[in-house]
């Protein structure tokens, strides 16, 4: 791969909320990407039906097939997830269940961010998401980004607090490096 060959990161927010802190993180990450890195944001997480292995085996809906194709086509994935009841959101868990059987995340460079209004930054959701991704065989970056007190760091749908923005920029650079290395190996 040449140094200017494009790398695509699929950005996925684990929230359906209109003014989601985690969607703001994904939107900000997309703006921080510089060539050759670009972000493709998946906005259809709420359109995926509840996971059903019978349907998965016989006739997955087009929304599921489209999601799988997007994950497969990406060079890397960035997840940003809120914490609900000390875990990741049901909507994100459901989306992940649809790609377990297809293996689209196996070996895929993956970064995990959690943004929460709490002082912990969603660390329990992050732990649960990481555990799920490990079981799925994703190549998870060792660097994780919990964004604590995120309500004060987001304005107008974007992460604006300078330190958090720089941490996100560094995480994207690390993710790009891993994706670049993975592309070179494969």
In this predicted model, what pLDDT tens digit does every residue of 19-44 receive, in sequence order?
999 999 999 999 999 999 999 999 99
Residue of 93, 78, 83 lying closest to 150 (CA atoms)? 83
pTM of the predicted structure, to 2 decimals? 0.95
- Stated as kind and residue range, the H or E segment containing 180 is helix 162-185
pLDDT over threshold 60, residue 158? yes
Question: Looking at residue 184, what is its pLDDT?
Answer: 61
CA distance 147 to 167: 9
Residues 54-61, mean pLDDT to the nearest whole number: 94
Two tokens, residue 4: 């200017």
User: Using the 8-state DSSP alphabet, how is residue 147 labeled?
Assistant: E
Are the CB atoms for 107 and 39 separated by under 8 Å?
A: no
Share of the chain above pLDDT 90, in %: 94
Mean pLDDT rounded to a whole number for the chain: 95
CA distance 108 to 61: 24
Q: How many other C-beta atoms lie within 10 A of the C-beta of residue 87?
A: 18
Render pLDDT for 73-104 as a digit per residue (tens, 0 to 9).
999 999 999 999 999 999 999 999 999 999 99
CA distance 10 to 175: 11
CA distance 78 to 115: 13
CA distance 95 to 67: 8
Question: Looking at residue 107, what is its pLDDT?
Answer: 97
User: Using the 8-state DSSP alphabet, how is residue 118 labeled?
Assistant: S
Question: Residue 122 region, left (φ>0) first, then alpha (ψ -120 to 50), else beta?
Answer: left
Question: Looking at residue 5, what is its pLDDT?
Answer: 85
Sign of CA dihedral 181, 182, 183, 186: positive
Are the CB atoms for 144 and 104 separated by under 8 Å?
A: no
CA distance 134 to 154: 29
Are the CB atoms for 182 and 109 separated by under 8 Å?
A: yes
- Stated as kind and residue range, the H or E segment containing 12 is strand 7-13
CATH numbers and ranges of domains, the chain: 7-185 (3.40.50.360)
């Amino acid at each position: 791969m040449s140094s200017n060959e494009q790398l695509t990161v699929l950005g996925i927010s684990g929230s359906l909320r209109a003014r989601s802190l985690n969607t703001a993180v994904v939107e900000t990450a997309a703006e921080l990407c510089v060539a050759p890195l670009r972000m493709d944001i998946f906005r259809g997480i709420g359109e995926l039906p509840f996971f059903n292995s019978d349907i998965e085996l016989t006739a997955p809906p087009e929304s599921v097939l489209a999601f799988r194709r997007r994950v497969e086509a990406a060079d890397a994935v960035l997840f940003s997830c809120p914490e609900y009841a000390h875990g990741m959101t049901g909507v994100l868990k459901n989306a992940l269940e649809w790609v377990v059987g297809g293996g689209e995340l196996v070996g895929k460079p993956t970064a995990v961010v959690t943004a929460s209004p709490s002082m912990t930054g969603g660390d329990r959701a992050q732990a649960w998401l990481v555990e799920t991704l490990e079981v799925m065989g994703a190549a998870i970056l060792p660097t994780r980004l919990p964004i604590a007190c995120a309500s004060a760091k987001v304005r107008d749908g974007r992460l604006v607090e300078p330190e958090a923005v720089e941490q996100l920029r560094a995480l994207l650079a690390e993710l790009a490096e891993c994706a670049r290395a993975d592309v070179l190996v494969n």
